[in-house]
Amino acid sequence: MDISVEISPMKMDDLDEVLAIEASCFPSSWSRGVFMRELWLSISRNLVAKIETGMGKEIAGYANYWIIPAEVQLHNIAVRKDMRRKGIASKLVAEIMKSAHKEGASWGTLEVRRSNEGAISLYKKNGFVVEGVRPFYYYTDTREDALIMWVNINEWFMKRNNYGT
């Protein structure tokens, strides 16, 4: 069930809500300092997904990624637990891919916990494929392996915009 979602650049004022989501989603969460650095880093892009509630607009999810020459590296996508399975993460991924394409990136890459079936499914739905494994990548908490996933952004963009079909 999709809901109305507004995607916009993350601001410092968003950090309290973002940190609450971060802490509820990841065993080793990023600190305020890490997010602040990401907001200032020139290659870093940070988005929030806002929904309208009876209390005004609230952050339902966020994303962090880097645009480096010819590539986008997805670092962090999270959605509030009570807002999952409503299309929010898919909208964040779509915005990342459009932004990456606009900025000239041809490839996207990410690491995801082997056990994170929901995220793996989201990425596969968006054209990412598993290209490798980083053993013990999450060594600071669970020592879990990470799957390395890649996507061809030009192909993703063409398919989503009905070019070449």
Q: Which residues are catalytic?
A: 111, 123
Query: In which band, very low, low, confident or very high, does the pLDDT at 144 lie, cut at 50, 70 and 90?
Result: confident
Task: Confirm whether 1 is domain-assigned.
Answer: no
Task: Confirm whether 110 is domain-assigned.
Answer: yes
pLDDT in the model for residue 164: 47
Task: Confirm whether 165 is domain-assigned.
Answer: no
Task: Confirm whether 77 is domain-assigned.
Answer: yes
pLDDT in the model for residue 2: 54
Of the listed ranges 13-27, 74-88, 135-149, the one predicted with least confidence: 135-149
- CA 115/CA 24 separation, integer angstroms: 17
Mean pLDDT computed over 140-161: 86
Of the listed ranges 108-112, 127-131, 155-159, the one predicted with least confidence: 155-159
* Tokens matching residue 154: 């030009």
Task: Confirm whether 115 is domain-assigned.
Answer: yes
Q: Determine the structural domain holding residue 120 and report its residue range.
A: 6-160
Which has the closest alpha carbon to 143: 118, 115, 122, 121? 115
Mean pLDDT computed over 142-158: 89
Query: In which band, very low, low, confident or very high, does the pLDDT at 10 lie, cut at 50, 70 and 90?
Result: very high
pLDDT in the model for residue 104: 92
Q: Interhelix angle for 32-40 vs 15-25, to 10°? A: 120
pLDDT in the model for residue 163: 56
Number of domains in the chain: 1
Residue 73 forms beta bridges with which residues?
66, 109
What is the per-residue pLDDT across 32-68, written as a single tens digit (0 to 9) for each?
999 999 999 999 999 999 998 878 889 999 999 999 9
The CATH number of the domain holding residue 128 is 3.40.630.30
Mean pLDDT computed over 97-112: 93
Task: Confirm whether 123 is domain-assigned.
Answer: yes
Contact present, 157 and 129 (Cβ < 8 Å): no
Query: In which band, very low, low, confident or very high, does the pLDDT at 17 lie, cut at 50, 70 and 90?
Result: very high
Task: Confirm whether 60 is domain-assigned.
Answer: yes
Determine the 3-state secondary structure of 58 from DSSP.
strand
Cut 0.95: pTM above it: no
- CA 99/CA 96 separation, integer angstroms: 5
